[in-house]
Structure 1
Amino acid sequence: MAYHTSLFPRWRGISAVLLLCICQIASAKRVDESSYRYPYKNPYLATATVAILKDREQRYVWEETQHLDLELIPGRNDVYLLEGKGKLRIRYSPHPGPAPLVFLLPGFGGSAYSGAARYLAQLLTDHGFQVLSLPSPFHWNFTLGASRSALPGLTERDSEDMYRAMQSALNGVRERFHPEITRIGLIGMSHGALTAAHLSKLDSERKKIGFDATLLINPPIDLLGAIRTIEELADLETRYTERQRSNIQAYAIGTASGALRRDIEDPDYFAHWDRRLKLDDEKIRYLIGWTLRQPVGSSLYVSALVHPAMGFLRAPITWGYRSARLEEARSYDLMSYLERVLVPHLERTSKRKLGFEELVRESSLKGIAPALRDNPKVYLMHNADDFLVSGEDLTFAERIFGERAIIYPRGGHLGNLWYTQNRQDILTTLKPLLGDRSDER
């Protein structure tokens, strides 16, 4: 049988590409379940442990937190009913002497002072890093103080605003505290990891900051799928009366508060959470969905005050009466916000028609896959039982990141941040930042 010889080079090229993909999948690190001693096999229960993350009660002198308020957008400090609140609030955790600085981005709607952000900042400062924490694009303070549109949700645009805020924060820290910064890293958690992924692409193009290492922890991969899962969780509220919802929330807050009064250095701090949080799976799932939905209303409330003429919200509001407007804002979930507020606004203000699915696709991690694949300084940590990702998502992540990805068998969504092996892997990933400290910036 005769073969056309010109086909062989093409097939060799395709074979090389396939081999590369196979090698990348094979080289991604899947942590063996039998050796991973994380105690909670229920992903929702595991996720609930994030609620009791905090920094250590006893602190070293150099770890005293510093706070900075940055005025980034003229006029935002004078918005009606939000007067004096328009500066971006950031948190700086110093370390003495020459040390790398790590930017830290919390999960969806989190502030620079959220429990998980404080916990990771403490871990890093304990091991030779200084940390600069910023709020999520969906935190009301970022919406008011740093989002030029005051309408978050388009990741590319949010990342532009975050990048600008990070540069101002870095300059503010340098001018006020005069730190000796050797290298610069970036960690993002959950939605903050999605933002961090886009920031890594932006920084590789513009080189205004220079990230020497970026770690993405539990980012959503198929953003639309993650949004739908969040809505399914939040919609569980329809199974309960308003009084029942209030009781569930009050019980969970009380249980978490009881844990937070203990010293996190206690070996039993995270133990027996399944017995302490006496809620069934459905109630825990409802609480997770409720928690992830809250930031949308707070952010939209601010957006409507920044843009009163656009009529995003119609309930009356005055100095003495705000509850109706807050209730209207909180009626929005993420899907309805994107479809009814953000997409129509973008269609009115941009030169091209941007549909909902196109917006989500452009805002996803998959939308910048080539940049992530080609950047050896970007790393991933994820969990196989994270309910915001699918097996297909994780296969995609392994193919893109290769040996730069670690996939754990358990932990839910961010629920194993505190576990010994995860803590060590975070530090190992960032260890190159602690290398030769002589090349100070």
Structure 2
Amino acid sequence: MTPLPRLLACCLLLLLPLAHAAPPTRPVPEDPLLATISGVAAEGGLLPADDVPTVEYEYVRYPWRPVPDVLWFAGTMRYTVAAQPGAAPLAFVIAGTGADADSSSMRTLRRALYQAGWHVVTVPSPTHASFIVAASQRSLPGYLFGDVDDLYAVLQDLRERLAGQLQISAVDLVGFSLGGTQAGLLAARDAQEHRLGLRRVVLVNPAVSLWNSVSRLDALLEDNIPGGLAHFDVFVDDIFERFAAVYSSSEDMTFDAEFVFHTLGRGRQASDAIGALIGAAFRLSEASMLFVADVMRDAGFLKPAGYPLQTSDSLSGYLRVSAGVSFRDYVRRFLLPQVQRERPALTLDRLIDESSLMQVGGFLRRSPDIGVVTNADDIILGRDEVDWLRTTFGRRARIHAHGGHGGNLARPEFLADVIALLGAPRTEVAHASH
């Protein structure tokens, strides 16, 4: 197997723990990297996934806009709806970086909110290929001003679509990770324009500064590969061989944080390797985002401008090149020049400032119906940013000691905080006894 497929396989393994529940009594790992990948999927009394009546729909915001042949798979944006049998508040849920509407984090939040009595609509991240192709005006993922523009328009469209199907008593908003940052900015927009009429908003594991958070994730990859990025292929081969050997030697092996820790070794060595894997998973998501944006805008960054890629063309070379571009380089070399076509006076520093919750800090501080649930050891936050969240949100900040980035998302106590901040009473619904 070549290094690229090995990298894909390793990152797939990294995501598996969310699908394999650890015992609910097992504590969240105190190591934030281990906690992040453990994704302790303790159901905590939630309805099984099959008991949540979920329907997937397709959406295209610009049906007249041609879809490049090579992006045929992303021509429609898929979103999911879990509808209550009667009147209920509607919760929109925005996915994190690179994730679709049915990712593991979205399924977790959908089950929790549905059981608590909400209609639930999950939407993909504006950094997901289908959103970039089918729903984004500019096709410039990571430009938060544009991402929020797109999300605001899409959510309005979806609410209008659902108005004839659901009895909606109120509209709430939840965002996870980058989706949490976008939810905060969306709340500020809606407070001015009132087109959604948002009642309550909860930011789950948000980035405070997008630039700072992605810099930390880039560093996990760049700083934790023995010998540096020049030895990236060797690192991937070594990790894959370790996983394959251990996983194939035991039929009842559960792929969880303990498995990863034992496979990679003890102490600093294991932590470094886990950090590099988390960084690699983020880099792959970023590489896909960059490729799709480049094709949609015909920008000539990865492929020659004007060259129409076909479905039969091999994309491995483009993915390999794009995987070598850090998010910081994406912003400097691709995003900023593209945005400057619309805003010639925009500087890098201004773009970074606009990609932060701090730009709406005053609004968040005085808004009693907006809360945050996160972890003090979230790997995408600095201590100063955790302090900023605590100070800005006050009693509306529920900050857990451990969990890394989303590692305790499915924990009952974490989900209870999300529900409490949304404020609707826990109601008995007909399906609960099924």
Structure 2 match to 1:28:
none
Structure 2 match to 1:242:
233
* 1:337 maps to which of 330, 345, 354: 330
User: Aligned in 2, Cα 1:271/1:89: closer, same or farther, shift over 3 Å?
Assistant: same
**Partners of 2:211 and 2:355 within 8 A in 1:** no
Tell me, in whole angstroms, the C-alpha distance in 1 between the residues paired with 2:40 and 2:279.
Answer: 13
**Partners of 2:74 and 2:129 within 8 A in 1:** no
Structure 1 match to 2:137:
148
Structure 1 match to 2:398:
406
Structure 1 match to 2:277:
287
Structure 1 match to 2:81:
92
2:92 match: secondary structure: strand
Structure 2 match to 1:19:
none
Structure 2 match to 1:200:
187
Tell me, in whole angstroms, the C-alpha distance in 1 between the residues paired with 2:364 and 2:248.
Answer: 39
User: Aligned in 2, Cα 1:197/1:431: closer, same or farther, shift over 3 Å?
Assistant: same
Structure 1 match to 2:292:
302
Q: Does 1:174 find its partner at 2:163?
A: yes
CA drift of 1:251 comes to 6.3
**Partners of 2:28 and 2:408 within 8 A in 1:** no
Tell me, in whole angstroms, the C-alpha distance in 1 between the residues paired with 2:263 and 2:199.
Answer: 40
1:82 match: secondary structure: helix
2:352 match: secondary structure: helix
Question: Residues 150-198 of structure 1: CA distance to partner in whole angstroms, max 9, x if unpaired?
Answer: 11122122101011111112222334xx111111111111111000000
* 2:198 maps to which of 211, 218, 227: 211
Larger radius of gyration: 1
Question: Residues 308-365 of structure 1: CA distance to partner in whole angstroms, max 9, x if unpaired?
Answer: 2x31223674432232233333332211111000111122332x42122210111101
2:329 match: secondary structure: helix
**Partners of 1:76 and 1:144 within 8 A in 2:** no
Q: Does 1:423 find its partner at 2:415?
A: yes
2:50 match: secondary structure: coil
Segment of structure 1 superposing worse, 413-422 or 76-85: 76-85
**Partners of 1:101 and 1:185 within 8 A in 2:** yes
* 1:387 maps to which of 364, 379, 382: 379
Q: Does 1:101 find its partner at 2:101?
A: no
Structure 2 match to 1:26:
none
**Partners of 1:38 and 1:419 within 8 A in 2:** no
**Partners of 1:385 and 1:410 within 8 A in 2:** yes
Structure 2 match to 1:59:
50
CA drift of 1:293 comes to 1.6
CA drift of 1:37 comes to 8.7
CA RMSD in angstroms, aligned pairs only: 3.2
**Partners of 2:40 and 2:408 within 8 A in 1:** no
TM (norm. structure 1) is: 0.80
Instruction: Give the residue type in structure 1 aligned to 2:60.
Output: E
Tell me, in whole angstroms, the C-alpha distance in 1 between the residues paired with 2:356 and 2:417.
Answer: 25
Listed as ranges, the gaps of 5+ residues in structure 2 are 1-24, 430-434
Question: Residues 376-431 of structure 1: CA distance to partner in whole angstroms, max 9, x if unpaired?
Answer: 11101121111221222122222211111111111111111122211221222223
Listed as ranges, the gaps of 5+ residues in structure 1 are 1-35, 263-267
User: Aligned in 2, Cα 1:190/1:434: closer, same or farther, shift over 3 Å?
Assistant: same
Segment of structure 1 superposing worse, 269-278 or 214-223: 269-278
**Partners of 1:77 and 1:85 within 8 A in 2:** no
**Partners of 2:79 and 2:101 within 8 A in 1:** yes
